[in-house]
Amino acid sequence: MRSRSGRFSFIEFVIFVAVTFAVFCLCVCIGSVSIPLTDTLSVIWDGVRYHLGRLGMAVIQVVSGSGAEAVGGAGTVPGGVSATVESTGAVISGGNGVLASWLAAKPEGLQASIILSVRLPRVLCVAMTGAALALAGGAMQGLLKNPLADGSTLGVSSGAALGAVIAIAFGVRFPGLPFAGTMVMAILFAFLSLVLILTLAYRLDYSLATNTIILIGVIFSMFVSSLMNIIVTFAADRIQHITFWTMGSLQGASYQNALVLLGVLMLCGGMILRRAQELNAFAIGEDNARHIGVDVRRVKLVILIMVSGLIGVCVSIGGSIGFVGLVTPHIVRMLVGPNHRRLLPASLFGGAVFLMLADLAARTLLNPIELPIGVVTSLVGAVVFVVIFYRSRRRS
């Protein structure tokens, strides 16, 4: 099955996309409030048509508007200008009329609200958060040659959460960008924690043995959680929701969040995917990577920054959701092998599928009560973690 190039074949790619899309559809169709499948689809279809129509009108307006300006700027006779304005106005209304006749009105009502405003943005955010966390986990497991490495086991997520909590407690804000403060602080703290943990780990044990680094991660997580408690004691009125930062929730995720996630996935995720070959070298051994000509220091820095970016954004949007980044690359590795050219894109899809299903369970199992998504991922993840650890111990 494994092609010699180590890349996905077209068929494999199609299969992954299809599975992910199927799970996505499933998650949009099933929810706390049950809505018939046909209604769900028609609401989405109407929504798409409505927004396409608005986009189309905007384009027409911009085009005709700029045309009118150009004519107005060139023309010297006032009568001519008014004539052109009138004619462009006619064009606009004509265009609008044509569009309006084909496009649906804005979907209204309970079902439209639930599907378009609540479920769809949430599932989108969940899918991309899962993809980002799994990619970050896969990259770290390769970079550190450590199958137990992940944002949650290394304490990077806790670090990011600490950054977010500090941003809220001390009111770190950027004017005009309401959630940029927490996000930037989360990314910054994710990176700082990574650097701190790895420096400590290298000092203790150059080979970055599995146990050392996990131990340091656990200690660091404890340390961070105590820091977080201290901050919460000082700013109790501002941070009532400490569980959000420890358990995570994607309730109330918006399209803006989805857009931010998409951006960070394209940027950081793309950078990581481009380093697949270097990650392969790291996964075989850092010294070996250096010997075959990988610029170890630079690649490591780039990967760590990108991983921090992914984890920081995910934590600032959904809190720290554990185990996704740990478990997904493992399951995926069993399917497609350890080659990062296949592993990373497959983790991307796998993480999306895993977190979407976990979120589905969190949303619907105890209806109308909602479980924190972190509880579901931890439940599944902890079991898999033990299995992995057991197997790796037994092997060595």
Partner 1 sequence: MKNRKFLTAVIAVMLSCALAACGGQTGTQQTTIAAAAEAAAETAASAQITAEEVTKAAAEETVAENAEAKTEASEEASEAGGASAESSAAGEVSGPVTITDMLGREITLEQPATRVVALTPSDCEILFAIGAGDTLVGRGEYCDYPAAVLDIPAVQSGAETNIEEILALEPQLLIMSAMSQTEEQAAQLEAAGVQVVISDAQDIAGVYTAIEMIGKLMGRDESAAEVIDNMKAIFAEIEEKSTGDGSKTIYFEVSPLEYGLYTAGAHTFMDEVANMLGVKNCFADVEGWGAISEEQVLKRNPDYIMTITMYYGEGPTPEEEILGRAGWENVTAVKNKAILNLVDNELSRPAPRLADGARKLYDFVYGEDAE
Partner 2 sequence: MLQVNDLTVRYGDLTIVDHLSFTVEEGQWLMIVGPNGAGKSTTLDAITQGTAYAGQVLFEGEDMKKKKAAERARCVGVLMQNHFAEYAFSVEEVVALGRYSCAGVRSRARWYAGSEIGFEGEFAGTAGGTDVRIGKKPDIGTKKKFGAFTEKRPGVRTKENVGLAQKSRRESGLHAEKHTGRSNEDEQAVENALALTGMSSQRKQSILTLSGGELQRTFLAQVFAQDPKLLLLDEPTNHLDLVYQKQVFELIEKWLQTPGRAVISVVHDLSLAKAYGTKVLLMNRGRKVACGPAVEVLVPEHLDPVYQMNVSGWMRQMLGQWGG
Catalog residues that contact partner 2 under the rule CB under 8 A. Answer: 2-7, 142, 145-147, 207, 277-278, 280-281, 283-285, 287-288, 290-296, 298, 333, 337-339, 341, 395
Closer of 73 and 368 to partner 1 (Cβ): 368
Of positions 153, 193, 221, 249, contacts partner 1 by CB under 8 A: 249
Q: How far apart are CA 357 and CA 30, in angstroms?
A: 11
241 binds, among partner 1, partner 2, none (CB under 5 to 8 A by kind): partner 1
Closer of 173 and 290 to partner 2 (Cβ): 290
Q: How far apart are CA 370 and CA 40, in angstroms?
A: 21
Q: For residue 1, give every residue at least 6 positions away whose Cβ sits within 8 Å of its Cβ, in sequence order, or none.
A: none
Closest separation between CB of residue 206 and partner 1, Å? 21
The 304-343 contact track toward partner 1, x by CB under 8 A, reads ----------------------------------------
Give just the sign of the alpha carbon dihedral 332, 215, 210, 395.
Answer: negative
- Measure the N-to-C terminal CA separation of the chain; round to a whole number of Å: 28
Closer of 175 and 293 to partner 2 (Cβ): 293
Q: How far apart are CA 175 and CA 178, in angstroms?
A: 7
Closer of 72 and 337 to partner 2 (Cβ): 337
Contact 362, 30 (CB under 8 A): no
Closest separation between CB of residue 283 and partner 2, Å? 5
Closest separation between CB of residue 214 and partner 1, Å? 24
* Per-residue CA distances from 298 to 290, 317, 362 (Å): 11, 29, 40
Contact 35, 114 (CB under 8 A): yes
SS3 of residue 210 by DSSP:
helix
Closest separation between CB of residue 277 and partner 2, Å? 6
User: Per-residue DSSP letters for 74-127?
Assistant: H---HHHHHHHHHHHHHHHHHHHHHHHHHSPPPP-SHHHIIIIIIIHHHHHHHH
Closer of 42 and 254 to partner 1 (Cβ): 254
| 372 lies in the binding site for partner 1 (CB under 8 A) | yes
Residues between 64 and 123 with contacts to partner 1, criterion CB under 8 A: 108-110, 113-114, 116-119, 121
| 241 lies in the binding site for partner 1 (CB under 8 A) | yes
| 396 lies in the binding site for partner 1 (CB under 8 A) | no
Q: How far apart are CA 382 and CA 369, in angstroms?
A: 23
Bridge partners of 177?
A: 174
Q: How far apart are CA 117 and CA 122, in angstroms?
A: 9
Contact 353, 23 (CB under 8 A): yes
Largest CA distance in the chain: 89
* Per-residue CA distances from 122 to 126, 183, 252, 355 (Å): 6, 18, 7, 11
SS3 of residue 353 by DSSP:
helix
Closest separation between CB of residue 173 and partner 1, Å? 7
| 139 lies in the binding site for partner 1 (CB under 8 A) | no
254 binds, among partner 1, partner 2, none (CB under 5 to 8 A by kind): partner 1
Closer of 114 and 200 to partner 2 (Cβ): 200
| 36 lies in the binding site for partner 1 (CB under 8 A) | no
The 340-369 contact track toward partner 1, x by CB under 8 A, reads -----------------------x---xxx
Closest separation between CB of residue 208 and partner 2, Å? 11
176 binds, among partner 2, partner 1, none (CB under 5 to 8 A by kind): none
Of positions 63, 67, 223, 238, contacts partner 1 by CB under 8 A: 238
Q: For residue 207, give every residue at least 6 positions away whose Cβ sits within 8 Å of its Cβ, in sequence order, or none.
A: none
Residues in contact with partner 1 by the rule CB under 8 A: 31-33, 108-110, 113-114, 116-119, 121, 171, 173, 178, 233, 236-238, 240-241, 243-244, 249, 251-252, 254-255, 363, 367-372
